[in-house]
Structures are given as C-alpha cells and as structure tokens.
C-alpha cells in the first residue's frame, strides 16, 4: 500500500493511523504468531501512541522498537525511549516487548554491537512508522550526517551511530535497508512546513539531500494541517 492520506484534523490523523497500524499488526500476528513494530520519537507521535496502546492485540507477542534514539539516558526529556514508555507501553500495550536502541555508555559506539544484535533478531519489521523533519531527514538519517552514505547503503549494518549539525546529541538509527525492508511503511507528518518538505523531497534528485525519499514511494503517508 502506498499513497498520501490527508485527514480533516490532527485528531483524525492520529486515530486513523492507529487503526491502520492495529490492523496490520493483527494480520502479522495471525500469520506468524508475532509482530514487530518500529515507531518514531520526536514531538509528533504521542497522540498516535495513546490510541494504539488500547488496541485489542496479543501485545505479549509484539516487539516494539524505535526507528531512532538520541544518545541520552531515560531520565532526559529528550529520550525517545522515555516517550515510548510513557505513551505507548501502557494499558494493553504494556505487555509488548521493547528492543532497546539505547544503553548507558560513554559513546554510542561502545554499545553498538549489542544494540545491533538485539535489532537483527527481530527483523524484518512488519510495520514501520516514520517521522520526518523539515530538513527531510527520517529516523536519524540526516542530510548532513557524518555516516549518511553508510546508512543509505544497501549493505548497511542494521543500526548506525549518527552525528549531524541539526541533531543536538549523537543518535542511533535504523538504516535504510531496515526501513525499506518493512512489510508496511508509514510516514506520519503534520503541519504545512512538513507538507512542503515532503513535496520538496519528491523533487529532490538524491537520497543524500532528502533521506525521506528512501521510503517515499513505498510508504503510506498520513498528514493533517
Ligand atoms: C527524533 C525522531 C525523528 C523525528 C523527526 C520529526 O528523535 O527526533 O525520531 O526522526 O521523527 O525529527 O520530529 P518531530 O515530530 O518532532 O517534528
């Protein structure tokens, strides 16, 4: 499934996306007895999580991971893991299994091998929901990131550390082959600035200048003003 859905309101957007993701997780659970869901952090997805956590699913067999994480402890209000614990892994979804994209250490490189093996064990993703920045980054694949080319490569490791001018702290990110390899990919964006960036990405010539482009054709995009 791909395409662009414009919802009448942000309330409809978050509920609409949650309904679609719930149905796709249910289908994966029915087919395989388990399902893997990747979700973004940042400021947009909390209301989507609040809907999804009430879904009547066999959550004990659902693995949840972030598309990317800031290299900060869970005590930080910039922690995407904290956002997930507080907004998604609650109510029915409290039974889901979280695969971490952060471990306390001095640098992301110190914990990379561990995080990579945790993620590798639960691939491919059944459902991947991605955010996008106004600079057309997705996950933590930023246009000017240090390991941009490595993260876009077909043979990229599943997780890479990332440092970029637009990111205040080091990141850990799922890489392009993992995002593209998901059974279902969704992009969640809200507001005119994001819509303009999304259109700009269609026109961009390379993935390097517009990393969201790596999934733009295959994704279902969900938008409200
Ligand atoms: C993060 C994200 C990131 C996010 C976009 C959009 O940690 O920041 O996972 O990729 O999805 O930057 O962020 P907003 O929703 O805050 O605009």
From 13, 17, 40, 71, give the residue whose CB has the most ligand 1 atoms within 8 Å, as the site to mutate.
Answer: 40
Q: What is the pLDDT of residue 166?
A: 87
Q: What is the pLDDT of residue 1?
A: 54
Residues in the ligand 1 pocket, defined by CB under 6 Å? 40-44, 67-68, 70, 80, 131-133, 138-140
pTM > 0.75: yes or no: yes
CB 46 within 8 A of CB 19: no
Sign (positive/negative) of CA torsion 3, 144, 168, 71?
Answer: positive
CA distance linking residue 131 with residue 191, whole number of Å: 12
Regions of the chain with pLDDT less than 70: 1
Q: How far is the CA of 105 from the centre of ligand 1 (A)?
A: 23
Whose structure tokens read 């507080």? 86
Q: Give pLDDT tens digits for 174-219.
A: 999 999 999 999 999 999 999 999 999 999 999 999 999 999 999 9
């Amino acid at each position: 499934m791909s395409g662009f859905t414009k919802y009448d309101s942000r309330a409809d957007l978050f509920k609409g996306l949650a309904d679609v993701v719930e149905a796709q997780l249910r289908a994966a659970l029915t087919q395989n007895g388990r399902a893997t869901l990747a979700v973004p952090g940042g400021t947009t997805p909390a209301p989507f999580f609040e809907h999804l956590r009430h879904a009547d699913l066999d959550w004990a067999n659902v693995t949840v991971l972030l598309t990317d994480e800031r290299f900060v402890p869970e005590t930080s209000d910039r922690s995407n893991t904290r956002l997930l614990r507080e907004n998604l892994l609650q109510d029915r979804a409290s039974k889901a299994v979280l695969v971490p994209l952060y471990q306390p250490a001095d640098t992301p490189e110190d914990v990379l091998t561990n995080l990579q093996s945790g993620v590798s064990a639960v691939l491919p993703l059944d459902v991947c929901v991605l955010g996008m920045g106004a600079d057309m980054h997705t996950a933590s694949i930023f246009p000017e990131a240090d390991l941009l080319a490595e993260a876009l490569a077909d043979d990229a490791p599943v997780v890479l550390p990332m440092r970029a001018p637009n990111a205040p702290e080091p990141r850990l990110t799922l890489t392009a082959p993992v995002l593209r390899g998901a059974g279902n990919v969704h992009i969640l964006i809200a507001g005119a600035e994001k819509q303009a960036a999304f259109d700009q990405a269609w026109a961009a010539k390379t993935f390097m200048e517009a990393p969201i482009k790596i999934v733009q054709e295959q994704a279902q995009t969900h938008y409200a003003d």
